[in-house]
Structure 1
Amino acid sequence: MAKRAAEPAGPRPLVILAGGGDFPLIAAEQVMEAGRPVLVVGIEGEASPEIEDFPHTWVKRGQLGKLFSIMRTFKAQDLLILGMLADRRMPTWREVDLVGLWEVLRHWRMLQDGDDTVLRKVARMVEARGFTIVQPADVIPSMIARSGLYGRYRPTDGDLADVLVAYRAAKELGRRDKGQACVASDGQVMAREDQRGTDNLLERVAAERRQTGFTGSNGVLVKCLKPGQDTRLDLPAVGPATVRNAAAAGLAGIAVEAGSTLVVDEDLMIELADRLGLFLMGFALSSAALGGQSGDGQPRGGQPQGGQPRGGPAKDGKPTGGKAKGARS
């Protein structure tokens, strides 16, 4: 009996299931530049029409059967889920296709588990069909926040103290699955993210400060991973709009958890922050700073690594961030 011919070696095809925002677009751009076959599957009502600049197709909410068929046709084993979901509910019965209905019935008990997010529930059903949900860090490592300063300005000791306060609050918020970001100023939590997202959080801070007549630059935005969060899904993210909104809210800077935050348009973020006078930093808290706690993310003291006094430029006065591939203006 003749041996079956081996399949030609080459990069594994990748399907990107795209929600809203620029992250799926930039990821597709970088994956294509790396020579890996990519297909963007946009969720109708969520994904940007700009996915049509790439090999693409569309699915409606609940069309798991169509998604599985697309992946098999594209000969893809790997699925990357990226982008915002404005509507985070589970699909209704009318929205689910026949295969999706079967998967819902198969996993009914799991779907009743209130501890899992919608995305994690969908991911578990995808994996039950033999596909692999991949981590953004493995596919688009240049979009993952690194530790250290990004731009010209550096945080003061007071700013770093606010970073720690906001970090503690954001971890507690995440533990309750309510959000990934908080704003702190003068050692106090000013505002917490909710289901409306980070832009809304910053708009609320700006509105409060307008009402009180605040002028100046004080306070920080911190974004970080929820305790126990699946790092393949719904990572915290920042981009140029975050910088603009933080400046409009009168904040001194933005700090994100290194290694687990998506950074879009890094060059543009640095340019905006330098022009608007904000510091940008990625931070990692050591186990000592966490007070010897295990990974529950609730520090007892210490400061984020890499902090330097604000009010002047970094060592050479130039941005410390590297150029991000595929940046979109």
Structure 2
Amino acid sequence: MLALIAGMGDLPMALVARLPERPLVCALDGFEPILQTDITFRLEHLGTFLQTLQARGVTQICMAGAVRRPQIDPAAIDAATMPLIPKVQAAMAKGDDGALRVIISLLEEAGFAVVAAHEIAPDLLPEAGVLTQAVPGSDHKTSAMLGDDCIAAMGAADVGQACIMSAGQVLAKEGPDGTDAMLSSLSGAHDAILFKAPKPQQDLRADLPLIGPDTAKRAVEAGLAGIVIEAGGVMVLDLAEVLAALDAHGLFLWVRPKGDA
């Protein structure tokens, strides 16, 4: 049996729609998805939550959707969670990928197999190539090469999975509020590109980068020339809608193999 630990955004609903049977939908308190939730839990009750999943016959867990780090109330930690607290605290002290690696290890130690969102919905990973009517120019290809370097540097600091590149310069880097927030802060970024890719050595079973129609809309509003995503490393929700929005305004979408010129 599969349990989906669902966060905010449209990805959890997209996964449920693709599954032959509805999973057990769980959510961290304060970050409920746009789905009917079967179990809501607090991080202070993680041990009890894992015991509940075991009792319900869960063998696989998928984590999908946006969450932010909750504050831990020491007074609320229950007995089943107390042995896990050193690892939970270690996770909270790390960057995004480091924290997820610790959480994944906790789930595996409890006997669960962790399943990636793109394993449930492989169709969310588009084929490599330029998928729009507009195509990237040579300057955009140069910016994409430099985007690789920017993501590598961000990955070393374990922060962010996207940046805005123009003429060999970094105009913006993704922060804790995500890609759409970064795009919303820009205007008139003509000939710039949104570059998005997973961090080097990222565990792709959780927090795989994602774009969707809102991303396309904000890219248009920011005046970008196009979007470049790493092939096999970035999911696209509602691809047809994304392409229609980009084609309508002359932007390109390049699903680029890593390192491709």
Instruction: Please confirm whether the aligned pair reaches a TM-score higher than 0.5, indicating the same fold.
Output: yes
Q: Which amino acid aligns with 1:192?
A: K
CA RMSD of aligned residues (A): 2.3
For residue 23 of structure 1, the aligned residue among 5, 11, 16 is 11
Match of 1:14 among 2, 6, 13: 2
Please name the residue that 2:204 is paired with: 231
Partner of residue 54 from structure 2, selected from 51, 57, 72? 72
The match for 2:104 is 123
The answer to whether structure 1 residue 142 and structure 2 residue 127 are counterparts is no
In structure 2, the CA distance between the partners of 1:96 and 1:236, relative to structure 1 (3 Å rule), is: farther
Aligned-residue offset at 1:144: 2.1
Structure 2: give runs of 5+ residues left out of the alignment: none
Deviation at 1:119, TM superposition (A): 2.4
Establish whether residue 44 from structure 1 lines up as the match of residue 29 from structure 2. yes
Q: TM-score, normalised by structure 2?
A: 0.90
The runs of at least 4 aligned residues of structure 1 exceeding 6 Å deviation read none
User: Percent sequence identity over matched residues?
Assistant: 27
Matches within 5 A, 1:130-169: 130-169=111-150
The alignment status of 1:181 with 2:162, answered yes or no, reads: yes
Closer/same/farther in 2, CA of residues 263 and 96 from structure 1, 3 Å limit: farther
Give ranges in structure 1 of 5+ residues lacking alignment: 1-12, 290-301, 304-329
CA contact (8 A) 1:184 1:191 kept: yes
- TM-aligned CA distance change 1:188 to 1:111, over 3 Å: closer
Q: Which has the larger radius of gyration?
A: 1
1:109 Cα shift? Answer: 8.8
The structure-2 alpha-carbon separation of the partners of 1:152 and 1:66, relative to structure 1 and needing over 3 Å to count, comes to farther
Distance in 2, matches of 1:152 and 1:92, equals 52
SS of the residue aligned with 1:130?
coil
TM-score scaled by structure 1? 0.72
Alpha-carbon deviations, 1:165-190, whole Å to 9, x = none? 22221221122112111111122211
The SS at the match of 1:63 is: helix
Contact 1:14/1:77 (8 A) holds in 2: yes
Cα separation, 2, equivalents of 1:186 and 1:112: 37
Q: Contact 1:42–1:59 (CA<8 Å) still a contact in 2?
A: yes
Report the AA paired with residue 221 of structure 1.
Answer: L
Of residues 208, 224, 228, the one that matches 1:255 is 228
Tell me how far 1:95 sits from its aligned partner.
4.6
